[in-house]
Each structure stands twice: as C-alpha cells, then as structure tokens.
C-alpha cells in the first residue's frame, strides 16, 4: 500500500509538477531518511517488513532516476543542443574571454620566470587552467574532436606544425 503511494507521488512530481531528476532524487533521499527515522524509533515486525520492501523500491527508483539524470545531462550539454538553445558561445565570444584573462596569465608566467618562489598556488592553478582552456578553444577551432583525447604528444606535434592539432595521430597510436 505504502509502495503504491510512493509510486503515485513520484508520478505526480514528474508529470504534473514537472520536477526534474535532481528534485526527484531529493524526495527519494528524504523518504529514505524518514524510513530510517521510523526504524530507529521502533516499529512492529509488520511495519519493518513493509518498510524493507519500500526501501528496495526506493533503491531501484534512485538508480533509475540517477541514470535518467545522467542521460538528460548528456543530452542537455551536447553542443548541438546548447547551440539550438542559443547557449553556446561563438568563437569570438570565447576569444574575448581569453583576452580578458590574458594579463593575469602573462603576469603569472613573468613572475614564474623572474621570482619562482613568489608565485601563489592559486595563480599556478589559474595558469594551468588558462592553458587548458586556450588549447581546448584552439582544438575546437581547428578541427572538431573530443577534448579527452588531447595528449601531450599531440600538443608537442602541434608546436612543430604551426598549431594544427592532428587527432588522427592519437587514433593511430591508441
């Protein structure tokens, strides 16, 4: 009986309230906490048996909703989807961001060369992220590919051939 009620609540949250996956996971966690509270404060054997079956359904529901959430993220964060929604920056907009952060990067590099001990860890982290983002933008601009396959060898090769990123080199090696 309680399990049927939980299923109906989740259907209501999903379809009528238009609650997304993260919100539904929050409700699943809250109900699990309520069940734990009920168990700790004592319950009859019949109630404990019912709560155990409900917990099983909640565990399965949580796994299912988490999978659905990951699938939704994959779809929502796809370049084509972001572009269709008008949420994907143009190359010019991305390069404007690079120009905005360039002085801090240059100052960090200058300090590294002149007084290496004076560079803060946060500046080094910033400089590393700056280089990674810049390379990502250059890679996406020169040739569509998956960023996760960018290797040190590919970057070294790019230095020798005018900045062209050759993804085929990774495919042949890997």
Are 23 and 13 in contact, with CB atoms under 8 Å apart? Answer: yes
pLDDT below 70 — which residues of the chain? 1-4, 77-80, 82, 88, 139-151, 162-174
Task: Please indicate, yes or no, whether residues 105 and 70 belong to a single structural domain of this protein.
Answer: no
Give the pLDDT score at 3: 62
* Residue 122: predicted pLDDT: 92
Please tell me the predicted confidence (pLDDT) of residue 5.
73
Which sign, positive or negative, has the C-alpha torsion 151, 155, 158, 163? positive
Q: Same domain, yes or no, for 58 and 112?
A: no
pLDDT at 102: 93
**Residue 27 and residue 13: Cα distance in Å, rounded?**
9
In a domain, 55, yes or no: yes
Does 115 share its domain with 157?
yes
> What is the pTM (predicted TM-score) of this model?
0.42
Q: Which residue has the tokens 């659905």?
A: 68
What integer pLDDT is reported at residue 164 of this predicted model? 66
| Residue 127 shares a structural domain with residue 56 | no
Q: How far apart are CA 37 and CA 35, in angstroms?
A: 5
Range of the domain at 59: 2-79
- Among 79, 101, 123, residue at a domain's last position: 79
pLDDT of residue 103: 94
Quick one: pLDDT at residue 171? 44
Residues 157 and 93 grouped into a single domain: yes
Last residue of a domain, one of 79, 104, 124: 79
The answer to whether residue 24 is domain-embedded is: yes
Residues 114 and 147 placed together within one structural domain of the fold: yes
Residue 110, pLDDT score: 94
**Domain boundary pick from 52, 79, 106:** 79
**CA distances, 4 to each of 1, 9, 47, 116 (Å):** 5, 9, 15, 65
Q: What is the pLDDT of residues 89-119, one digit of tens each?
A: 777 777 888 899 999 999 999 999 999 888 8
Domain presence at residue 84: no
Counting the structural domains of the chain, the total is 2
Angle, CA 145 vertex, CA 164 and CA 148 arms, to 5°: 105
């Amino acid at each position: 009986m309680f399990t049927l009620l939980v299923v109906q609540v989740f259907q209501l949250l999903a379809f009528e309230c238009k609650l997304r996956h993260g919100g539904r996971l929050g409700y699943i966690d809250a109900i699990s906490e309520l069940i734990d509270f009920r168990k700790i404060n004592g319950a009859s054997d019949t109630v404990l048996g019912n709560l155990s079956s409900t917990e099983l359904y909640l565990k399965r529901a949580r796994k299912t909703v988490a999978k659905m959430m990951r699938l939704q993220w994959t779809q929502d964060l796809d370049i084509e989807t972001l572009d269709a929604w008008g949420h994907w920056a143009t190359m010019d907009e991305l390069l404007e961001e690079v120009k905005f952060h360039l002085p801090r990067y240059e100052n960090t590099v200058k300090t590294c060369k002149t007084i290496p001990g004076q560079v803060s860890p946060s500046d080094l982290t910033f400089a590393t992220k700056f280089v990674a983002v810049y390379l990502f933008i250059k890679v996406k601009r020169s040739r569509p590919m998956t960023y996760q396959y960018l290797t040190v060898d590919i970057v070294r090769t790019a230095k020798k051939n005018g900045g062209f990123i050759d993804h085929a080199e990774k495919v042949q090696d890997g």
